[in-house]
Amino acid sequence: MWQKLKQVIWQWRCIWTITPSITLIIILLRSTGLLQSWELAVYDQYLRLRPQQTRDDRIVIVGIDEYDINAIGQGIITDEVLAELLGKLKGMKPIAIGLDLYRDLPVEPGHEKLEEVFQNTDNIIGIEKVLGDSRREAVKAPPTLKAKGQVAANDVVLDKDNKVRRALLALTGENGKPIYSLGVYLALLYLDAEGVSPKIVPGTNNWWQLGETVLVPFASNDGSYVGADAGGYQVILNYRGGRGSFETVSLIDILEERVPPDWGRSRLILIGKVSESFGDVLVTPYTQNPSERMPGVEVHANIASQIISTALENRFLIKSWPESMEYVWIFLWAGFGAVIAWNGRENSFLYKGAILLVPSSVLLLITYTAFVQNWWIPVVPPILALGGAAIAITAYIARSAGQIRHTFGRYLSKEIVTTLLDHPEGLKLGGERRKITLLTSDLRGFTATSERLPPEEVVKILNFYLEYMADVITHYQGTIDEFMGDGILVLFGAPIAREDDAERAVACAVAMQLAMGSVNEQMKKWGIAPLEMGIGINTGEVVVGNIGSEKRTKYGVVGNQVNLTYRIESYTIGGQIIISETTLQEAGSIVKVDGERQVTPKGVKQPLTIYEVTGIGGKYNLYLPEEEEIFCNLPEEIAVQYSLLKGKDISKEIFFGTLVQLSAKGAVIKHNQEEVMILPPPLSNIKINMVSEGKLSEDIYAKVREKPAEKGSFFIRFTNRPPEIQSQLDNLYNSINQK
């Protein structure tokens, strides 16, 4: 169970790291306020898209516009006109009249009449501007109404974009008593008539409760706000709608009695200027052009309506989650984005983008549905988290692809990687006929050596050896088609053909043999016997391309020339390079050869001429060191038995002989004269066992040399000797050679 869990954790490791990282980044961005304007824009859009709210007929507006000014024939509303208006409205028996007009100074004529109305009417509420500099911004209330305590503040709270999204319910006055805003004052009068009065919630900082609803004050970081001014008693304003959501009549309609006599009965009546020219218009979430700005009096009407509806109808305030809940919300969507991108990592970028539209749409649907239910849930941070996590996963995959490209480049060459990853046609199954040069190499006797070593040691040796060879092959622009244990198949001319493919193949082979010196220096440090490599090269026509199925494809070559290359390589001994005649013709006279012979490999009808290469001139100027092989006569012949190797099988026929001469890497076997004279063919592989007192030694492997020997004898080159036998033969040879 734990192993499976560890495997899952490892497979999804990028999600476990990217999801919290993106979440933290988004939270940090949000905390700086950089996302606030975007989130408020979404809030405004949701407000506009919200189903139309029902009109609140408990509140009406007497709007003063340009038509009224022209109709009364004066540039201003005098105290006399205002007194007449208030008198007519008072006669309609409203619950309260909110006068959203500054009247701190007399506006003649008719000031005495207006003062008389103020004095004799207990439900007229005047206004004063409280916030701001007392000399330049604050405006006092009508003295008479101030003395009677019938005054409210008409201040509003503006966001940084000058929009009104919050309702200021109350301020603290100089004497410590609350100063209600105009909308709140009127609403409280209406509720008082309905028998509802505000209560202070115990254990809070003077939070109000109206009916069953507690008016939770706005905090600085509510919703998408970051560090907003939360002074006074504020709530988020739940508008009834845009401009014109309340019934509005003109001043002239009232003065000329064009409305029913009971039009204002049991209602709240607000009086204010509604024309753009008066300047008392505000930008709200519903404002998309200047003509949609809302008169200040209508903003106060919305505040009054919100308070009344909350108390009497349980119309919810707009609520938001605590910050901890918002963080979890962002984390979840970052996780969704990461999982979706990770699961779709095998698909195209456009497909991933299309798939991400689904969770994005779900997110918008969830948040909009919640908003209709008066819950303000973050939209922009989770969308950024969703997209950011998807982008991060995509970048991680792209980086991994880059690493894969690099890894493939070590084994397949950059040309194949480019063909496979960058060109769409390079991914198609199939191939083309092409003349190329193939190089294959193999370590002599390494299979037997690996059987005596732990698997970890074998892998270490192979990795070290192959890394050296891969560097050499890459330098000569060869394409590593395949690693087969200790064998390598290299292509010169695919996927990119060049005029000097055969030359580079021969030069690469010489360089690989020279690099074995460095490899064996490390083998010596590790206490491992020196490695020897044989290389075969052939040039011919093959089919090259993508081989396999839609689920698994390999870039490679097929054709009898590939098999022929392996046959040529099988004739080599350690440190030897053998090439075909076609390769020699392609490479030209700069190739230095040391002998030739004809062979008839399996599957080939006509004899094939092969050549041993000892170097290449021209711009490469690479030559194998000349080694003089010295054979010494053994003072005492060593009895042996040997069998031929046919492919991977060992012949059951056993021959007997003796070791009569020994060199550093080879020997001469004299066939037993008592047996029928059958010598193994040149270049064949044999298994040898030394015989002592009727006991057989460990297996020794060797290749029969073409070197001429005395009748009944043949030369061999050891390809693998067990460590103990190698040490025994080396000591014997050194002791003889020193004499």
Query: Which own/partner contact pairs does 336-340 have at CB distance under 8 Å and 24+ positions apart?
Result: 336/386, 336/389, 337/22, 337/385, 337/386, 337/387, 337/388, 337/389, 337/390, 337/393, 338/14, 338/15, 338/18, 338/19, 338/22, 338/389, 338/390, 338/392, 338/393, 339/15, 340/390
Report the DSSP pairing between strands 533-548 and 430-443: antiparallel
Per DSSP, the three-state class of 384 is: helix
CA distances from 454 to 55, 457, 458, 723 (A): 87, 5, 6, 15
Question: Which domains does the chain carry?
Answer: 2-32+334-367+376-401 (no CATH), 54-319 (no CATH), 427-623 (3.30.70.1230), 632-737 (2.40.10.220)
Predicted pLDDT of residue 316: 79
Report the DSSP pairing between strands 96-99 and 124-128: parallel
Instruction: Give every residue of the chain whose pLDDT is below 50, as ranges.
Output: 410-411, 422-429
Query: Which own/partner contact pairs does 7-10 have at CB distance under 8 Å and 24+ positions apart?
Result: none
Predicted pLDDT of residue 152: 94
Predicted pLDDT of residue 2: 62
d(CA 327, CA 170): 32
Predicted pLDDT of residue 382: 95
Contact predicate 657/640, CB 8 Å: yes
Q: What is the pLDDT of residues 653-698, one digit of tens each?
A: 888 888 989 888 889 998 876 555 678 888 888 899 999 888 888 8
Q: What is the pLDDT of residues 180-197, one digit of tens each?
A: 999 999 999 999 999 999
Alpha-helix runs per DSSP H in 248-294 = 251-255
HEC assignment per residue over 386-427? HHHHHHHHHHHHHHHHHHHHHHHHHHHHHHHHHHHHHCHHHH
Report the DSSP pairing between strands 59-64 and 247-250: parallel
Predicted pLDDT of residue 4: 64
Query: Which own/partner contact pairs does 669-677 have at CB distance under 8 Å and 24+ positions apart?
Result: 669/640, 669/642, 669/713, 669/714, 669/716, 670/637, 670/710, 670/712, 670/713, 671/712, 671/713, 671/714, 673/712, 677/712
Q: How many residues does the chain have?
A: 739
- CB proximity list for 213: less than 8 A, separation 6 or greater: 310, 311, 314, 316, 317
Query: Token pair 């709240």 is at which residue?
Result: 268
